Amino acid sequence: MSQTDTPTSDTASQYQGIVLETDFIYALTAVITYEYVVTFGQEVEAMWLRKWTGATWLFLVNRYMMIAGAVIAAAPYTADTYV
């Protein structure tokens, strides 16, 4: 039996995968949040201050579903059960 087949190396490999996935999700959430903060002024001028049409609603739903999805994706990794 080789050293790489031990339960501790499997556990370490799983832990490393969880850490990598968690870091990726946090980075993705940070990039999405940054984009929203930087472009919020443009959004207000272009969408919020104009007549509300179907296109306006579609844009806003699409935009805010993305940030909601990122927050929901990151939420399990911030819970105490994963610490």
Structure token digits, residue 53: 């049409």
Q: Is the pTM of this model over 0.95?
A: no
Q: How far is CA 66 from CA 8, 12, 28, 40, 48, in A?
A: 38, 32, 11, 14, 18
58 pLDDT band, cuts 50/70/90, is very high
Residue-range domain boundaries for the chain: 3-82
% of the chain at pLDDT higher than 70: 83
Place of tokens 């984009």: 35
29 pLDDT band, cuts 50/70/90, is confident
* Predicted local distance difference test score (pLDDT) of residue 53: 94
DSSP H helical segments within the chain, as ranges?
7-43, 54-78
